[in-house]
Structure 1
Amino acid sequence: METTLTMDKQSIMAKSREEIAQKLPEGKWSEKQKVALTCRILFAQGHDSGLAGQITACDKHSGEYFTQPFGYGFDEITTDNLLKVNKDLEVIEGDGMPNPANRFHSWIYNARPDVGCIIHTHPPHVSALSMLERPLKISHMDTCMLYDDVAFLAKWPGVPVGNEEGEIISGILGDKRAALLCHHGLVVAGRTIEEACMLAIQCERAAKLQLLAEAAGEIKEVNPELAKEAHDWILQDKRSKAGFAYYARRTQKECDFTV
């Protein structure tokens, strides 16, 4: 006899949360390996822009973080060529130099002790919205993980290599997980590497959906209460890890590489 068909939605969601936490698969990679995988995943998802963009993962105890060396594209990153730097961008481990724009990452890490990974990229659809000076609109279930969680920087401060830009970007981000930077691109601040990677993928997808929808008509708002419910449901930690593991398997298969 069925026992769940008469349960209310909240009870079913609570039961499912327990199962998700216990049973969803996740990868067994080191933090350094996950940074390299994130570079490759985002390259495969169209986030590359030559030498632009940075991905960092911070050790919350030391304040040092892994990042890719300046001069390499996301598709070239492995665990062997990643750098470890301090918040002054001095290299602790590895050869080469970090992107000078990593300075604003240090500002975000100082302002947000909850953040474990920052992703900054210039994907095409987010960049197109940034050129139109339009905030990201969240109006689809898949992208509700971003609902009320994407800030908007309406004025471009220029190349983000100074402390002024770090103060501006960390300030506009506030307590949110992402920000669309006008005439620039995307910044994501996730609790984990997996969460940040999933957020970055969905930000670009949301921008693509927005441009498609706006070309056809007016975007309709979603119910705020239901959007918040979906936001919290999709951003479960184990779900983010399972999603990351899927994209890692897919990217390694398509690109024929291992970390």
Structure 2
Amino acid sequence: MSPVANSDSRNGNAASPQVLASPVAVGNFPRPPTFATKEEEREYAKFRLAQAFRIFGKLGYDEGVAGHITVRDPVRPDCFWVNPFGKHFSLIQPGDLILVDHHGSVQIKESGPNTLLNKAAFMIHSAVHAARPDINCAAHSHSVYGRAFSTLGKELDMITQDSCAFYKDHSVYRQYGGVVLDEEEGAHIVEALGSKKAVILQNHGILVGTSSIEATVHFFIALEKSCQVQLMADAAAAGTGGKTIKISDAEAAMTHKVVGTFAGGWFSGQPHFQALEAQEGSSFKFGSSQ
């Protein structure tokens, strides 16, 4: 369970999600790191984004060359970092990332050696980052259960505590326009996303966007698992002639305030990065170049 209540960076500074004390735990919660310079913040964002890709790779969220995660650049907010087209998630390091502006121009000087840009990644993420200044990191992949659930063209049912993280905070883009290769389709996805943190792309997969890399990773994993749980629960209910038990609107709304905030997502995302760092023996070194 997330330890954060009544805190959401959509109502505050998106770049610095605030983790507040709450009734579900005792003690002082950690806060996002601070940086001596914008350049150090950029290096941290790149380091963390590369970690996010490797976490996705370990979880099997890759599907050939499909999928992308982006983070807004702290130095140049009109640009974002993205994975080079065609490199496996599990292999991505900070030096591989490419910097792209909102016109689709790769910033060669700052980018890694492979500057091949996935056009669908640009069309989706440039639209998201331009329309939603509160979203610093967005992720989309063709994960198995998200993709399977997307074929139903429906929102999640509130059947578990975890699915309540998306109560009135996700939507469905009920149209499949093929591979996203033009601005119009990107605009349609952003319209469907609205002010929410997630959208289920019909016949395509899922997309999550939040104020931090950690929260995006956490909520993407949570949404993927919620899709998996509902597919299993619906199949079990159909097999027994019953129905799944839904959580009431009042209880779902109350639970969302605890498990669904951007700040809570930042905290809840920490264990994924802790485990990766323990396995790899590498973490960001503040005050020194990576």
Return the TM-score normalized by structure 1: 0.86
- Kept in 1, the 8 Å contact 2:146–2:227? The answer is yes
Query: Is residue 87–residue 103 contact of structure 1 (8 Å, CA) maintained in 2?
Result: no
Q: Corresponding residue for 1:169?
A: 189
Match of 1:189, SS?
strand
C-alpha displacement of 1:14: 6.5
What's the secondary structure of 1:30's corresponding residue?
Answer: helix
| Contact 2:215 2:267 (C-alpha < 8 Å) held by counterparts | no
Q: Tell me, yes or no, if the aligned pair for 1:126 and 1:208 is still in contact at 8 Å.
A: yes
What corresponds to 1:128 in structure 2? 148
1:7 alignment partner in structure 2: none
1:77 to 92, 103, 121: 92
> Would you say 1:231 and 2:264 are equivalent positions?
no
Displacement of 1:83 in angstroms is 1.0
CA distance in structure 2 between the aligned counterparts of 1:56 and 1:252, rounded to whole angstroms = 21
Gap runs ≥5 in structure 2: 1-5, 7-19, 35-42, 238-242, 284-290
Does residue 108 of structure 1 match 2:128? Answer: yes
Show the counterpart of 2:117: 98
Secondary structure in 2 aligned to 1:137?
A: coil
CA RMSD of aligned residues (A): 2.5
State the alpha-carbon separation in 2 of the partners of residues 238 and 191 from structure 1.
8
Amino acid of the structure 2 residue aligned with 1:84: L
Matched residue type, 1:99: N
Which residue identity is paired with 1:208?
Q
Cα distance in 2 between the residues matched to 1:168 and 1:236: 25
Residue 51 of structure 1, CA deviation: 1.0
Higher helix share: 1
Q: Distance in 2 between matches of 1:182 and 1:228?
A: 25
- Cα deviation for residue 236 of structure 1 reads 4.5
Give CA deviations for 1:4-60 in whole Å, capped at 9, x if unaligned.
xxxxxx9xx96537956x334767881111111111112222311121011001137
Question: 3-state SS of the aligned residue for 1:80?
Answer: helix
Residue of 139, 162, 165 corresponding to 2:159: 139
TM superposition score normalised by structure 2: 0.77
Superposed displacement of residue 245, structure 1: 2.1
- 1:3 aligned residue: none
| Partners of 1:63 and 1:123 in 2: CA distance | 29
Supply the AA of the counterpart residue of 1:128.
Answer: A
Contact 1:57 1:67 in 2 (8 A): yes
Q: Equivalent residue for 2:286?
A: none
Change (3 A) 1:185 1:236: closer
Partner of 1:40 in structure 2?
54
Q: Which moved more, 1:83-92 or 1:25-34?
A: 25-34
| Helix, strand or coil at the partner of 2:78 | coil
Pick one of 220, 235, 257 that aligns with 1:200.
220
Q: What is the match of residue 29 of structure 2? A: 23
How many angstroms apart in 2 are the aligned matches of 1:252 and 1:161?
Answer: 36
Letter in 1 for 2:29: K
**Does the Cα contact within 8 Å between 1:40 and 1:77 map onto a contact in 2?**
yes
